[in-house]
A and B are shown apart, each in its own frame.
Chain A
């Protein structure tokens, strides 16, 4: 025996029945309770200075948050930018993402947007140019327009919800898509409510 201490062995000790789930939440031992992931749109106001985007994206990658999209741009205020992040995580992960984001010194505020917030993304879809009329018609169905036309290609701009953009991309497949670029979601609260 090396370095042993006195006392009863592990099996001879009383052990409680309770337990927690993998998120550290105390649960009924008889019930499995692993939370389902959900999609959350986070809006962060940040100081408009070099390195902020790297700090935010680095935070999300090293903490292994499942990030769907990230957009960034200046706001109506000088020296302030807004970052819109879409993540998919179980509930504790979403809370943790918000708190970790708030901890970054250049971050002014973080808010999770309501599900009915105005959410838009933009896509540029470049397709074969042999049927320009048909491409234009489909673009109009999605409220978009052809923004560049050449002999070989037509490029269409579509703006809307993520679902709408996805549906449009699917539809344009019939013209043979050459290239697609999408921006990720930008979002603001509806009505007079301020997006902090």
Chain B
């Protein structure tokens, strides 16, 4: 556990003297480094902070006492980071999390790494021991900037009370501009306590940071030539389309030229899945038709994607006959994993417009793509997403996902943990809007769903539903955040797809480790409905088809947090599946196929 305040022994006289000091500190917080930090947060338009109190961050909390900012006290710092991350995904503005030094800061690390892998805008503010103690292994000291160097876009050790507000402002600007990502400011206690009369200036990125806007005109021309000459083009839309607010441009572009659209998992919602041109998600557990289209296309227009290995499978077999057009705001992503024949470095929306302008000058190629569109539709018919639902079978998780989708609006925000339930939650839910899918992609953090739902709830509109899918194993990792959802009376429906396994591990053990189910069985699962009630939430248990719709309706209607523990078929697996490093075109549709891969 995090020990937040150093244990002390003191006389009553000393305690009284300290109380007097504390009052003095409180009175003077208006002109301190901590007050500058809070002013910088206010200037950046922050509404909510997610954090946990502790010794070294106390001056900042003291300054927050006088501010209008809403602080959500989380049960654990990891929860604070995930909540801030999800707030950033749903709102588009950086979410803010706070923690004290040492264990507080290190508990943020998983959440920061998660935001980093998924390019989510986030600010982490950490307390630090006083400057004079830094480097001496003082109580609750950690080299926080050292620890977080590889998992932040950039980080700062704020060493001066006169500039600490500017540093926080810069951290905001850097997190938000260009390719978004997490930044961290480490705040030594003496710096936040020290007096300063200086107000933070305008928040801006440093002069060394200049993200590109428009792509090079000649490169756009060449890429447009390739698209115009293609027979079998696809667009692969990644999370960058949503982060770059380019969904309108993407939709208009794909529909104008009638090009089929595939999304990556972070790109879910960039293109409506009920559109004929949508092939939904490609990759390890993507649809068969998306993976067939990727495998057979001749031009692939990747926008805002980093070609993660869960998408590409073995890179040697990825889109093997395609020329690749790669649009990205981060030059380092271009040709990192898959060589780009046409690199277009710039803002997604701007570059799509540039491509559109170029293609407008050429004969409309959309008729020529007709045969390809027919082929793609044939694949849709050949590899439909389906599951078996005879009444006598145990409850299927896919059915639960579909019922929840039906019972809630199109703009419902879905958050998930990591595992089989996460895959069913994107496969069997119909996403049509950006910023409605909140999940841990790059890092694959179990336990992400519930704290993410808390952040998402505060970023979403009041009339938007928030549904969190968790597995039993994943839910147990951050279940303590239920206390926060209850305390803040958050309208969140948690659907636990409970198979008493760490299901994805069990699936891999069955498929690739000869069924040796080492440490994947959770036969000691608690009663989640009772646990929810103990936290003060509504709890339901559903073990068969008959109870699903009623429980879902009741949970969705309830104005507060509810948990439905769905006892699903424990042996259900996620298909299609491309084994790790395999060929996208050789996906398994059932267990027997795994032997053929």
Contacts and interface: CB of A to CB of B under 8 A. Distances in A.
Contacts of B550: none
Interface string A3-40: 11111111101111111111111100000000000000
A58 B150 CA distance: 8
Interface in B315-351: 315-318, 320-324, 330-332, 334-339, 341
A108 B296 CA distance: 42
A62 B148 CA distance: 13
B137 interface: no
B332 A4 contact: no
B585 A105 contact: no
Given A16-B295, A105-B208, A9 B589 contact: yes
B239 to A, nearest CB: 18
B254 interface: no
Contact of B586 (A15, A99, A102): A15
A148 B545 CA distance: 88
A1 B590 contact: yes
A75 interface: no
Q: Tell me if A's interface is mostly helix, strand, loop or mixed.
A: loop
A10 B332 contact: no
A9 B209 CA distance: 50
B589 A16 contact: no
B590 A4 contact: yes
A106 interface: yes
A24 B315 contact: yes
B208 A47 contact: yes
B473 to A, nearest CB: 18
Contacts of B288: 5, 7
Nearest to A11: B596
A193 B239 CA distance: 41
B20 interface: no
Interface string B197-217: 000000000101100000000
A16 B337 CA distance: 20
A5 B596 contact: no
A107 interface: yes
A95 interface: yes
A19 B316 contact: yes
A20 B323 CA distance: 11
Interface stretch (B57-65, B354-362, B378-386): B378-386
A20 B318 contact: yes
A20 B384 contact: no
A92 interface: yes
Interface string B174-211: 10000000000000000000000000000000101100
B591 interface: yes
B411 interface: no
Contacts of A5: 288, 383-387, 575-576, 589-590
Contacts of A69: none
A6 B591 contact: no
B571 A99 contact: no
Given A2-B573, A24-B337, A100 B318 contact: no
Contact of A10 (B331, B335, B597): B597
B339 A54 contact: no
Interface in A82-113: 92, 95-96, 99-100, 102-108
Given A19-B316, A22-B315, A51-B145, A1 B592 contact: yes
A178 interface: no
B330 A103 contact: yes
A190 B323 CA distance: 39
B145, B315, B322, B324, most chain A CB atoms within 10 A = B315
B335 A95 contact: yes
A96 B332 CA distance: 6
Contact of B383 (A6, A99, A107): A6
A185 B502 CA distance: 52
A13 B292 contact: yes
B387 A102 contact: no
Nearest to B572: A3
B248 interface: no
A149 interface: no
Nearest to B583: A15
A51 B322 CA distance: 42
Nearest to B574: A3
A17 to B, nearest CB: 8
B430 interface: no
A147 interface: no
Contacts of A108: 208
Contacts of B296: 14, 16
A115 B497 CA distance: 60
Interface string B522-559: 00000000000000000000000000000000000000
A107 B206 CA distance: 11
B316 A21 contact: yes
A176 B29 CA distance: 67
B588 interface: yes
B154 interface: yes
B390 interface: no
B271 to A, nearest CB: 23
Interface in B134-161: 145-146, 149-150, 153-154, 157
B372 interface: no
B593 interface: yes
B118 to A, nearest CB: 17
B587 interface: yes
Contact of A20 (B145, B153, B315, B592): B315
Contacts of B146: 54
Contacts of A4: 388, 575, 589-592
A55 interface: yes
Find the residue from A4, A5, A54, A107 having the highest chain B CB count within 10 A.
Answer: A5
Nearest to B589: A5
A9 B150 contact: no
Contacts of B572: 2-3
A95 to B, nearest CB: 7
Contact of A6 (B145, B573, B589, B596): B589
Nearest to A101: B332
Contact of B149 (A26, A55, A102): A55
A105 B569 CA distance: 50
Nearest to B424: A3
Contacts of B150: 58-59, 62
A33 B314 CA distance: 17
B320 A10 contact: no
Contacts of A95: 335
Nearest to A109: B208
12 contacts: A1-B592, A3-B388, A4-B592, A9-B593, A16-B295, A19-B320, A20-B315, A26-B320, A26-B322, A104-B154, A105-B153, A106-B208
Given A10-B588, A15-B583, A20-B316, 9 more contacts: A3-B387, A4-B575, A5-B384, A7-B383, A7-B589, A23-B339, A26-B321, A26-B322, A103-B330
Sorted nearest first, the 4 A-B pairs with minimum C-beta distance are A4-B590, A18-B320, A99-B332, A18-B321
Interface of A: 1-11, 13-26, 47, 50-51, 54-55, 58-59, 62, 92, 95-96, 99-100, 102-108
